[in-house]
Amino acid sequence: MIPGPKARRRLLALAACLALTVAGALLAALLLAGAAPDWAPAGPAPGAPSAEAFEHAVVRQLTAVREEDPSRSPPAATPGGPAWASLPWSVSLHDDDLRAWLSHRLEPWAVSRGLLSGWPANLSHPVVVCEDGVLHVAVRLGGPEGRLAHISCIPRIAADGSLWLTPTAAGVGRLRLPPEWVLRDGLIGKSPDAQTTRLLECLRGERPLVDHAVIPLEGRRLVRILDLSPRRGRLEVRCRTELARDRN
């Protein structure tokens, strides 16, 4: 049955309303995706000198003389463990210092250790912002001027010593999205390279960020990361200095 003129006008009006509603929703989503979330830092990261100063300060903390943990002596008290271990110690890493290091020192650090051959061209260097109990980790898609894709996550050290990021929320700009949607291949291009894929898997909590949360020092010394606690504006890192057993 062919509808009459009045019915056709009503159908056209309904279709127009639906089209306007969908267009409005798409426009709102695009505007939200292009806007920075409230927690995102304003302005560029501090310069390279700040990153270098921060790196030197961290090295001083890592290599500082620490008090021995008497509960771990003699070495036989911890079979299979380190030959020597310090009491746990902590250090605070502030957001601005982290931003500077991630912007200027992360890439050469990762390349020098064979973790990357170079930073993925379609991703900016990451931004990390700390709040109570949560880390906001973000990258710009398509380079420094692209949209900000981000994941709010809880860092944890697993029983095997690996470092994981467990996503709790996600989005692009101010547009909230399910964590499993964010940083999928479709958002960054159809064929990301292996390095980009690995990085995104880490950010999505699908694989550990590092397999062993330890920092080797000279000789047989190392610093083991025991816990990471985000606080507003800073990351509290709890560590222990150890001396590995002589394999000979």
- How many alpha carbons lie under 13 Å from residue 248 in its C-beta half-sphere? 1
**Residue 114, number of CB atoms within 10 A of its CB:** 7
Q: Span 2-14, mean pLDDT? A: 54
Q: Which of 17-31, 33-47, 69-83 has the lowest mean pLDDT?
A: 17-31
pLDDT at residue 80 greater than cutoff 90: no
Quote the CA–CA distance of 245 and 17 in Å, as a whole number. Answer: 73
Say whether pLDDT at 33 is over 80. no
- pLDDT above 90: residue 94: yes
- Which DSSP letter does residue 233 get? T
> Does the structure show a pLDDT above 90 at 156?
yes
Q: What integer best gives the mean pLDDT of the chain? A: 78
| Position 16 pLDDT exceeds 60 | no
Mean pLDDT lowest among 3-12, 67-76, 129-138, 157-166: 3-12
Q: Which residue has the higher pLDDT, 77 or 242?
A: 242
Inter-CA distances, 196 with 41, 111, 127, 146, 191, Å:
24, 14, 16, 16, 10
Instruction: Using pLDDT thresholds of 50, 70 and 90, give the confidence band for residue 19.
Output: very low
| Residue with more model confidence, 178 or 234 | 234
The torsion of the CA quartet 183, 188, 194, 199, rounded to 10 degrees, works out to: -30
Mean pLDDT along residues 18-39: 50
For the chain, where are the E strands, in sequence order? 84-85, 89-94, 127-131, 134-140, 148-157, 163-172, 175-177, 214-216, 221-231, 234-243
The pTM is what?
0.77
Say what the pLDDT of residue 240 is: 95
Token pair for 204: 């999505």
Residue 86 DSSP label: B
Q: What is the mean pLDDT of residues 35-52?
A: 82
pLDDT at 248: 57
